[in-house]
Structure formats: C-alpha cells, structure tokens
Amino acid sequence: MIVVPAIAMAGLKPGSVVIYTDGDVEKLLVQNQESAIWEDQRNRRYKRSYLPYFPVLEYRRFKEDPSGYDQFVTDMSAVELKPFSSSESVQFTLTRRDLNKGASSRLWRCSFVGSGSYRLSKQDLVTQDYSCTRFSVNKYYVESFREKLDVSYSPRLNLVVKQVKTNRRGKETQVAVKRILTPERATAKRIARTVYKLHTSR
C-alpha cells in the first residue's frame, strides 16, 4: 500500500521527511515488508502498500471528527506487477470501507509501463513507471472512466517520486518529490524554510 523482493526494502529511514511540489510534507513513521505509514503536516496518516501503484491502504484523519477509510483486496500477490512478479497488466476489484459511509467496490486496471528517470537534488533516479485506471461498469457492461493515476517509483528510495492524476473531466494534477530530509536534518525550522522557498520560487 506478502513476501516482498529485496528491491522493495531499500529506501528511507523512519523519521525521514519528504517535501512535495504542492507544499505537502510527509514524515515516514513505520516501514516493514508489507507497508509504510506516513503522517502529513495536518496529522493525517496514510498506510501505503509495498506495491507503489496500489491505492492507499488506510487513511485516517485525527484532528477533526474520526474519519477515514480502508482499502484492500483478498490477495495482494494476485495484483503484483513487474518487478514484483512477471505480470505486466492486472485488473482487480478493490474493496473500500469508509468508517462513516460503509463499504463499496472499485474496479482498477493497472499496467507496468517500463523504466524511466526522475531528477532529484542533481541526481538522476531510475524509476519504474505504472499506469492505473479506475472505471465502473453499468448493467449493460459498458465501462465508464473514473480516474487515472500515472506513477513513477524509485526502487532506490522505495518511494513514488512523481504522480499524475487525471479525473473524469480530463483535468490533470501533478505532484512530485521536491526535497528529502534525513531524520537527522528534519528539524521543524529546516522543513519550514524549505517549504517557504518552494512557495516563493513558484
């Protein structure tokens, strides 16, 4: 968001902070072979799968009324794509359980696109690129597009470094990693200064 290849266990240490191009800040709290838990500047928590293209496993919002959701499939190994398996494309039904609204099902189709690169802090990172489409099917078995997610994942960082989301109206929203701070350097002052520079440079 499960026996994971060694490639998925590289990456950042707990306590590392990632600053994104939209100004969001996330801190890595816990990481194991199956998932990682991140917390953003608003104290919202996200549990993400070891599969970089898989939708968020859990989302929790603490400061407001308790709310959030869980998302899961019955067998994670069945939705693995390269390099986690030999598959290049997969379709699956995701169960989304909202803490307030109940459960619903979502249809996804994901594909391994190939290798790419992403430049971060004057370094070119090799990426594995994926494309996922969420869709619905009516009673006549006609598909309707809901959203599309294109992600670039860095095995070295064990992190999605770029994501482009396209909604049903065709509007694109892009978010990418701008800066990574190690646990030792992730002070409140340095984070605030980095975010400020990001905003003023736009």
Query: pLDDT, tens digit, for every residue of 99-132?
Result: 989 999 999 999 999 999 999 999 999 999 999 9
Residue 78 lies in a domain: yes
**Owning domain of residue 174:** 6-200
Does a structural domain hold residue 123? yes
SS3 196: helix
152 in a domain, yes or no? yes
Classify residue 124: in a domain, yes or no.
Answer: yes
> Can you give the CATH number for the domain in which 77 is found?
2.40.360
Phi, psi of 6 (to 5 degrees): -60, -25
Q: Are 165 and 147 in contact (CB under 8 A)?
A: yes
- Residue 2 has a pLDDT of 34
**What integer pLDDT is reported at residue 65 of this predicted model?**
64
